[in-house]
Amino acid sequence: MFTIDAHLDLSMNAMEWNRDLRKSIREIREREKEMTDKPDRGNNVVCFPELRRGEIGLVVATQIARYVAPGNPLPGWHSPEQAWAQTQAQLAWYKAMEDAGELSQIIDRNTLENHLRYWNDDGPVSSKAIGYILSLEGADSIVTLNHLEQAYAYGLRALGPAHYGPGRYAQGTNATGGLGNDGRELLKEMERLNIILDATHLCDESFWEAMDNFYGYVWASHHNCRALVDHNRQFNDEQLRELISRGSVIGGVLDAWMMVPNWIKKESTPKGMNCDLEKVIDHMDHICQLAGNSLHIGIGSDLDGAFGKEQCPYDLETIADLQKIPNLLSNRGYRPEDIENVMHGNWLRFLRKAWV
C-alpha cells in the first residue's frame, strides 16, 4: 500500500552519519561494521531502495542543526549562523539527490498531485523518485525572520520550533518554559507564509503558548502518548485532544523508548522489552479512542533518527516493514478505509486542506 512517513532525518544521515542512502542496507551496514563513533553504527534501517520496496513514496524529510549556548551539554553548533550553514549543506544534499533522480521535492498542491499520479502509475516503483516535503526540526538555525522567508523560498513547508533542550524560539523535550517574544514572532511569520507548525518536541508550556498564538495548520509529525509512556516527550490526553480539535494528524514514532514504558537507554533491548510493531498500534489506537475515529493518526517513524535496530521494534528489519502495519490494524478490527487513513490518507487530506 502507498505509504507516507512524516518524519525521516535523511540529510542528517547523509551529512553527519556519512551514509550514501542510494546503497543497500547491507552495503551501508558492511561499511560501518568496524565504526564506533555513533551508537547505531551498522544498525541502520533506512535507504532509498528500502523506501521503494516498502512503497513509501512520500516522506517529510528534515533539516536539523541545533544552536547550543555556553553551558548547554547537548551536541550542536556554537552560533545560529553555523547552524544555518549546516542546514544549507543538508539542503545541498537534497538538491544533489534530486539531480540524481532519487528524490523529488513537493512544495504545493500541484506538485503533490503530480507526484501521486507519477508514483501510482504502472511504472516500476524501483526506479521512481521518492517525494519529499522539507521540514526543519528545531528553529535554532533561523538566524532572523528574513532567513525563514529564504527557507520558504527554497521549499521549507513545515517547522518544529524546538528539539531537545532549550532553544532560541521555544523550549523542547526535557526543558521548561514558554516561547517568549521571539517565538511568538516566529509563529506569526510562519502563519503568514503558510508553513505548517510541527508541535513535536515542544515542552508543555511552549506547546500551550503555541496553540494560543498560532492559527495556521498544525501537525505532530512523530509523537506518541504520555498515557502509555509517561515522559514529557509524549503528549498527554489534553494536548492530544487539542490537536484533534484543530484537525491535526499525529505520526506514530518507532523509537523504542517512546513506545514502551521503563526503557533504560544503553541497557534495554527491543526483545527484552517485548517492543514490537504492535506497540505503536497501541499508541495509534489510544488517539483513535480519544478522537472517536481514525482521522488523526499516521506514520512518522523517525527511523534512523540517531538510533537503529538496537532501539526500534524487533520485528522491523528495515523501513520496508512498515508494510506490516496494515495487517496489525486489521487484526485490531480496523476497516480498510481506516487502514488507508493511517498509511497515507490522513496526511494527504491534511496537506490538501493546507495547500488549497
The tens place of each residue's pLDDT in the chain, 356 residues long, gives 999 999 999 999 999 999 999 999 999 999 999 999 999 999 999 999 999 999 999 999 999 999 999 999 999 999 999 999 999 999 999 999 999 999 999 999 999 999 999 999 988 999 999 999 999 999 999 999 999 999 999 999 999 999 999 999 999 999 999 999 999 999 999 999 999 999 999 999 999 999 999 999 999 999 999 999 999 999 999 999 999 999 999 999 999 999 999 999 989 999 999 999 999 999 999 999 999 999 999 999 999 999 999 999 999 999 999 999 999 999 999 999 999 999 999 999 999 999 99
Q: CA angle, corner 347, sides to 342 and 350, nearest 5?
A: 130
* pLDDT given at position 45: 98
Cβ-proximal residues to 223 (8 Å cutoff; 6+ apart), any chain: 199, 200, 234, 235, 250, 251, 253, 300
* pLDDT given at position 235: 98
Alpha-carbon gap, residue 13 to 91, rounded angstroms: 13
pTM beyond 0.85, yes or no: yes
The three-class DSSP label of residue 243 is helix
Residue 156's closest CA among 252, 88, 202, 98? Answer: 88
Identify whether the C-beta of residue 332 lies closer than 8 Å to the C-beta of residue 281: yes
- Residue 181, burial from CB neighbour count under 10 angstroms (0-12, 13-18, 19+): exposed
* pLDDT given at position 322: 98
- Residue 333, burial from CB neighbour count under 10 angstroms (0-12, 13-18, 19+): exposed
Q: Which domains does the chain have, with CATH numbers?
A: 3-354 (3.20.20.140)
C-alpha distances out from residue 37 to 12, 203, 263, 275, 298, Å: 15, 30, 23, 26, 33
* pLDDT given at position 123: 86
Cβ-proximal residues to 288 (8 Å cutoff; 6+ apart), any chain: 294, 296, 297
C-alpha distances out from residue 66 to 81, 95, 168, 179, 243, Å: 11, 22, 9, 16, 26
Alpha-carbon gap, residue 279 to 344, rounded angstroms: 20
Alpha-carbon gap, residue 135 to 11, rounded angstroms: 11
* pLDDT given at position 107: 98
